[in-house]
Amino acid sequence: MVVQVQTLALQGLHGLPVQVEVQVSGGLQGIYIIGLPSNAVKESRDRVRGAFHALGIAIPDKRVMVNLSPADVAKDGSHYDLPIALGLLVAFGVVPDDAAHGVVAMGELGLDGSLKPVAGCLPAALHAASHGARVMLVPAANGPEAAWAGQSSSLGGGMAVYGVASLFELVRHLRGEELLAPVVPGRRNNPALAVGDVADIRGQEGAKRAAEIAAAGGHHLLMSGPPGSGKSMLAARLPGLLPPLTPAEALEVSMIHSVAGTLGAEAEGGLVTRRPFRDPHHSASSVALTGGGLKAKPGEMSLAHRGVLFMDELPEFPRTVLETLRQPLETGSITISRASAHVTYPARFQLIAAMNPCPCGFLGDPQKGCKKQPGCGADYATRLSGPLLDRFDLRVSVPAVKVSDLSLPPAKDTTATVAARVAKAREIQTQRFAALEGQVLTCNAELSGRLLDTFCPLDAESQKLMTTAADKMGLSARGYHRVLRVARTLADLAGEAEIRKPHLTEALAYRVM
């Protein structure tokens, strides 16, 4: 007798159906797992033995063969424990023969028979639901996230998801002794409040204006200024200016965090609805930023998808790490190529960076300036390559805060008022892009190609200004297009349908630091 149980292997955000075949026969006693299992999968036999022992179920003195099909695909992860255990329960007659029919299972077993959470349940559940699965068994901790796929109207909404706390609980359910109720989707967490308020920042009106533009159009922003000028404070408040994730974006972001194993911490079992804010330390490696490792997990760029990636002390990052930013900033995705994996993750993030003008940070300050200026500032700036700098839509200088500014009353523009203006500009962009066929754009920063000509036309006077400025400033083709995108956002903030000369003038000013 061969018992078949369905489960899934994950390749990035995509599921691959895996059939777990369990056969009990005469021969040399033991549990043998074949089908290119990794060490984590091979250890399943010991976890299953321990769980069965905790339940008082004796494994017969027979040969148990477990085949993971397709056999030519490498299997990795601890989530194969549950389907293997379910197959054995059927084979040993502990549960009915049809208990595994039409069931997709994944979960890690503890030696006490408990089921522990595993990474990637959300994308696995979405794949299972889209391919007609009707029942999915997952650990109780993963139930709320997997239930979103089970009740998704776009996938038919017909898959029942059961969150199982232990193997004993599963046995009673399958035998009809104590039925489990299908899990309901986890609650959507409310958007987190920003760390502080924009009004807390005294002075720095130019930098706050640039942050508003960046939030309204999804533009990349580079701030340069001495220590203590408020760069990090402003970056920390940027998430409060951004609109909440749309349902489609929330699902996309949640899938990435599910694969990374951080969805429970981020969303308490539900979907992530606040835009991610990631701020890796400048000692982070290339793998930490791009993703990879033994299991090709997503890195900081992908974890910041549809959100903000804040890189403080930008020149202090190793050059090799900084250069990995260039391709994702253009394509919105990153491909991890390893000998054992070739995975593509979304990485459409908004890059906000901060830097000091020189190593000591006081270049140009008559009181604190070092003896090495201006050479130290020029050397420090060369740590950033020209192609990387060219990808910043907005570059703004953040001067030192005067003591007199600290005694000023709070600014009238709070996070709420600025966020309202940003939301209005984003709504204009949403309506503008709604008519596009075959393309999904969310903000002006994603405009390219013919769409720039369609949505960013210039009159004769503006075109003359743009041509003259491009020649004098030595703008590249990329820089030229980024100026147009920023000008489009400025027009949206002003509620104007056409780009005018003042919009272009301000956009050009942000190309010079």
User: For residues 504 and 487, is the Cβ–Cβ distance under 8 A?
Assistant: yes
Q: Which of 381, 414, 447 lies at the terminal end of a domain, its last residue?
A: 414
- The CA radius of gyration of the chain, in Å to the nearest whole number, is 27
Same domain, 362 and 390: yes
CA contacts within 13 A on the Cβ side of 341: 21
The CATH code of the domain that includes 133 is: 3.30.230.10
User: For residues 292 and 336, is the Cβ–Cβ distance under 8 A?
Assistant: yes
Q: What is the mean pLDDT of residues 115-127?
A: 93
Same domain, 230 and 361: yes
User: For residues 174 and 389, is the Cβ–Cβ distance under 8 A?
Assistant: no
pLDDT attached to residue 422: 97
Question: What range defines the domain where residue 31 resides?
Answer: 2-174
**3-state SS class at 492:** helix
Same domain, 350 and 425: no
pLDDT attached to residue 362: 74
When pLDDT is cut at 50, 70 and 90, the band that residue 295 belongs to is confident
pLDDT attached to residue 296: 85
Same domain, 8 and 102: yes
Higher pLDDT, 126 or 359: 126
pLDDT attached to residue 433: 93
Same domain, 309 and 439: no
Same domain, 308 and 234: yes
For residue 128, is pLDDT > 90?
Answer: yes
Q: What is the mean pLDDT of residues 143-149?
A: 88
For residue 139, count other CB atoms closer than 10 A to its CB: 24
Q: What are the start-end ranges of the E strands in 394-451?
A: 394-397
Higher pLDDT, 186 or 503: 503
Q: By C-alpha distance, which of 459, 472, 464 is closest to 500?
A: 459
Distance CA 76, CA 80 (A): 8
When pLDDT is cut at 50, 70 and 90, the band that residue 338 belongs to is confident
Residue carrying the six token digits 């041509």:
467
Q: Which of 414, 429, 445 lies at the terminal end of a domain, its last residue?
A: 414
Q: Is residue 181 part of a domain?
A: no
When pLDDT is cut at 50, 70 and 90, the band that residue 273 belongs to is confident
Q: Is residue 165 part of a domain?
A: yes
Q: Which of these ranges, 235-239, 265-269, 309-313, 321-325, has the smallest mean pLDDT?
A: 265-269
Question: Tokens standing for 339?
Answer: 């000998």
Same domain, 113 and 206: no
* pLDDT-above-70 percentage for the chain: 92
Same domain, 358 and 389: yes
pTM: 0.88
When pLDDT is cut at 50, 70 and 90, the band that residue 369 belongs to is low
Distance of CA 465 to the CA centre of its chain: 39
When pLDDT is cut at 50, 70 and 90, the band that residue 191 belongs to is very low
For residue 54, count other CB atoms closer than 10 A to its CB: 17
For residue 149, is pLDDT > 70?
Answer: yes
Highest averaged pLDDT of the listed ranges 124-138, 279-293, 482-496: 482-496
pLDDT attached to residue 266: 54
Same domain, 82 and 99: yes
When pLDDT is cut at 50, 70 and 90, the band that residue 308 belongs to is very high
Predicted confidence (pLDDT) per residue in 194-251, tens digit = 567 888 888 888 999 999 999 999 999 999 999 888 999 999 999 999 999 988 898 8
pLDDT attached to residue 188: 56
Predicted confidence (pLDDT) per residue in 37-72, tens digit = 999 999 999 999 999 999 999 888 899 999 999 999
Q: Which of 414, 448, 474 lies at the terminal end of a domain, its last residue?
A: 414
When pLDDT is cut at 50, 70 and 90, the band that residue 152 belongs to is low
Q: What is the mean pLDDT of residues 487-502?
A: 96
User: For residues 253 and 479, is the Cβ–Cβ distance under 8 A?
Assistant: no
Q: What is the mean pLDDT of residues 84-98?
A: 94
CA contacts within 13 A on the Cβ side of 209: 15
Q: Is residue 493 part of a domain?
A: yes
Report the run of H or E that residue 14 belongs to, with start and end.
Answer: strand 14-25
The total domain count for the chain is: 3
**3-state SS class at 70:** coil
Residue carrying the six token digits 């061969």:
2
User: For residues 130 and 22, is the Cβ–Cβ distance under 8 A?
Assistant: no
Q: Which of these ranges, 138-142, 181-185, 369-373, has the smallest mean pLDDT?
A: 369-373
The CATH code of the domain that includes 384 is: 3.40.50.300
Higher pLDDT, 129 or 268: 129
User: What dihedral do alpha carbons 135, 141, 142, 144 form, nearest 10°?
Assistant: 80
Identify the DSSP state of 114.
B
Average pLDDT of every residue of the chain: 89
Q: What is the mean pLDDT of residues 255-272?
A: 76
Same domain, 433 and 463: yes
Same domain, 441 and 410: no
User: Cis omega before residue 117 (within 30°)?
Assistant: no
Distance of CA 145 to the CA centre of its chain: 16
For residue 154, is pLDDT > 80?
Answer: no
Q: Is residue 266 part of a domain?
A: no
Predicted confidence (pLDDT) per residue in 383-393, tens digit = 999 999 999 99
pLDDT attached to residue 373: 65
Same domain, 164 and 283: no
User: What dihedral do alpha carbons 305, 14, 141, 101 form, nearest 10°?
Assistant: 160
Q: Is residue 252 part of a domain?
A: no
Q: Is residue 187 part of a domain?
A: no
Q: Is residue 104 part of a domain?
A: yes
